[in-house]
Amino acid sequence: MTAAATGGDGAGEGNQRTGDGGRPVRLLRRVAGLLRLTSLRLRLVVVFALVALTAAVSASGIAYWLNRNTVLDRTQNAALQDFRKALEDNTRSLPLRPRCAELQDAARQMASGPQNYTVLLIGEDRAGKECAATTNKDLLTPSTVPQSLRNAVDQVRPVDENNHDAHHLYWQRNEVGDVPYLIAGAKVTGGGPTGYMMKSLATERQDLSSLGWSLGIATALALVGSALLAQAAATTVLRPVQRLGYAARQLGEGRLDTRLRVTGTDELADLSRTFNRTAERLQQRVEELSGREAASRRFVADMSHELRTPLTAITAVTEVLEEEADSLDPMIAPAVQLVVSETRRLNDLVENLMEVTRFDAGTARLVLDDVDVADQVTACIDARAWLDAVELDADRGIVALLDPRRLDVILANLIGNALKHGGSPVRVSVRTEPAEPAAGAPAGEAPEGATAESAAGGDPARVEGEREPGGGQLVIRVRDHGPGIPEEVLPHVFDRFYKASASRPRSEGSGLGLSIAQENAHIHGGRISASNHPEGGAVFTLRLPMDTSQPADEDERGDRGERPADAGQGAEDGR
């Protein structure tokens, strides 16, 4: 009797729990922000963890599978060999048709072996009735034996040179309840009884379960260890990168003497050396350019200062010539008038250049005072005899803390530029608006081309009587009715010496008026913007804080007595 095996393992089933818990949107955003801030570190940790997890799971799975097969095969082979030998030894002395009692005694003898399995013997007694002798009626009976196993055991195989026995030993692994069992059966050749055995594999399952838990714990420890290792590696790798980022930010903020300490010979060390060389060359280049710029500023300032003395004398002479113009020869009068006008233009240019050099050198200071804006605009227009050409829309009582002289310079440039290059009438509107920016636009920013009334919202906020510190911003709009500003010129209207038309390189102005106006707005903490009105004409919008006391407090550390330019200079920026 030889053993040939056909078997099947029962598959266990596990339950998987899934949970779905909500998280506040704010918390998710914070987590997403943290993930973005540490994305490189997170990627390194995740990669290390995935590699470690894959390796640990693969090794644990292979180890578990090999140990499982080894444990089951060892137990199975030992039980099958013992069953085959016990079946041969205990049925050899039985008669061809044994009594049930004899089968029961043989079954008990087989079950008393070291393997501790249950035995079922099935045979025919002398009366021809089937007799089933079992050592455990609750576990192993003819009805509990799988039909597939019984069919295999009862099958008669042809005997030849390759098969010496008509019956073979067959086995299966099944679960009865929650307990795994090895069930085997064989038929004694020569008409003997059929024997079945059933051995519990609960001990082996418990051993394999303990092994699985041990491998799972080892995998978890490997995962934690890989995460710690990844954190250490990421720190080692990212620390030079973080230092490089910090140094780059320092360099971007103007600290050109920033350098990195270089250690090692790896790629990061080479990157640090490259950064240091780049920073050194940049510092040299910036120092060179700064020196040239400072020399240029000194030259312009010195030139403007030196020109003032001869210009003063020339201006006095031209004033005398202008007074005597009526008594001069008619052939000489046009030349005298040209000299007078060009002298005045040269004097304005020198004054403007001196003002520009003060802004570039950072020596321009504010002399603040409470200013009634409507009175200031009226005084500016009246001083230049523009009352007939300018429409003013301003309520009295709008008071702001400003430098009145610099505000007059801004207004003179904007209104004079509108009168010279735009079309009458020129409309000047004064409003106050909240300082907080609206969604998607700066505070008080009206759509391009909007009228002063629509920009004020139809019901503008007013500051009546006295100034409220930090209470919003002052908005002054100057609109003309001319052809407007070409779109390609709009970005350059505040550039120094910019001319809108190359065919008109010479004009009565110096090309510095709007630039000086913008600088005066900036020193107040405000700005000037230019746009075109949908109905025609250009619109210049001046925005100043209602309270500029903070810049004034800072300027108190400097020379507040300097008055760099005369009011009303330079409304000559051409369009």
What are 404-450's pLDDT values in tens digits?
988 998 998 899 888 888 877 899 999 988 875 543 344 334 333 33
Residue (of 231, 305, 194) closest to 47 by Cα position: 231
197 & 155 share domain: yes
Phi, psi of 302 (to 5 degrees): -65, -40
Q: Rounded to an integer, what distance in angstroms lies between the CA atom of residue 148 and that of residue 151?
A: 5
418 & 525 share domain: yes
352 & 429 share domain: no
Angle at 459 between CA 422 and CA 409, to 5 degrees: 40
Sign, CA dihedral 135-136-137-140, equals: negative
Longest CA–CA separation in the chain, Å: 169
Query: What's the pLDDT score for residue 454?
Result: 36
Query: What's the pLDDT score for residue 430?
Result: 92
Query: What's the pLDDT score for residue 117?
Result: 86
Whether 565 is covered by a domain: the verdict is no
Query: What's the pLDDT score for residue 73?
Result: 85
Whether 256 is covered by a domain: the verdict is no
> SS3 breakdown of the chain: % helix, strand, coil, rounded to 5?
50, 15, 35
Whether 83 is covered by a domain: the verdict is yes
pLDDT over 70, % of the chain: 78
Helix (H) or strand (E) holding 356: helix 333-361
Beta bridge partners of 427: 391, 479
Cβ–Cβ < 8 Å for 478, 430: no
Residue (of 113, 111, 93) closest to 192 by Cα position: 93
Mean pLDDT, residues 536-552: 79
Whether 484 is covered by a domain: the verdict is yes
CATH of the domain at 172: 3.30.450.20
* Domain closes at, from 165, 189, 210: 210
Q: Rounded to an integer, what distance in angstroms lies between the CA atom of residue 480 and that of residue 418?
A: 6
CATH of the domain at 425: 3.30.565.10
Query: What's the pLDDT score for residue 26?
Result: 64
388 & 377 share domain: yes
3-state class of 9 per DSSP?
coil
Q: Rounded to an integer, what distance in angstroms lies between the CA atom of residue 480 and that of residue 215?
A: 85
355 & 416 share domain: no
Q: Has residue 30 got a pLDDT over 50?
A: yes
Whether 248 is covered by a domain: the verdict is no
- Rg of the chain over Cα atoms, rounded to whole angstroms, equals 51
Residue (of 65, 138, 125, 66) closest to 96 by Cα position: 125
Confidence bin at 529 (pLDDT 50/70/90) = very high
Range in 270-284, 332-346, 422-436 the model is least confident about = 332-346
319 & 456 share domain: no
Phi, psi of 526 (to 5 degrees): -120, -160
Q: Rounded to an integer, what distance in angstroms lies between the CA atom of residue 340 and that of residue 322?
A: 7
**Between the CA of residue 187 and those of 1, 81, 93, 195, 345, what are the distances in Å?**
9, 15, 15, 6, 129
N residues, the chain: 575
356 & 406 share domain: no
Cβ–Cβ < 8 Å for 283, 256: yes
Cβ–Cβ < 8 Å for 501, 452: no
Average pLDDT, the chain: 76
Confidence bin at 479 (pLDDT 50/70/90) = very high
The strand order across the sheet containing 390-393 reads 390-393, 426-433, 473-479, 538-545, 527-532
181 & 52 share domain: yes
Q: Rounded to an integer, what distance in angstroms lies between the CA atom of residue 140 and that of residue 162?
A: 34
413 & 531 share domain: yes
Can you give the three-state secondary structure of 419-431, one letter per residue?
Answer: HHHCCCCEEEEEE
Q: Rounded to an integer, what distance in angstroms lies between the CA atom of residue 570 and that of residue 412?
A: 8
Helix (H) or strand (E) holding 527: strand 527-532
Confidence bin at 477 (pLDDT 50/70/90) = very high
Cβ–Cβ < 8 Å for 98, 124: no
Query: What's the pLDDT score for residue 449?
Result: 37
Confidence bin at 565 (pLDDT 50/70/90) = very low
Whether 258 is covered by a domain: the verdict is no
Instruction: Give residue-wise pLDDT tens across range 56-85.
Output: 888 888 988 888 888 888 888 888 888 888
Query: What's the pLDDT score for residue 187?
Result: 84
Q: Cis omega (within 30 of 0) on the bond before 425?
A: yes
Query: What's the pLDDT score for residue 212?
Result: 86
Q: Has residue 1 got a pLDDT over 60?
A: no
Q: Rounded to an integer, what distance in angstroms lies between the CA atom of residue 315 and that of residue 335?
A: 15
Whether 20 is covered by a domain: the verdict is no
354 & 378 share domain: no
134 & 79 share domain: yes
198 & 320 share domain: no
The token pair at 567 is 């009011």
Whether 239 is covered by a domain: the verdict is no
Mean pLDDT, residues 214-219: 87
CATH of the domain at 289: 1.10.287.130
pTM, to two decimals? 0.44
Number of domains in the chain: 3
Structural domain boundaries, residue 329: 282-363
Specify the DSSP class assigned to residue 384: T
**First-to-last C-alpha distance (Å) of the chain:** 115
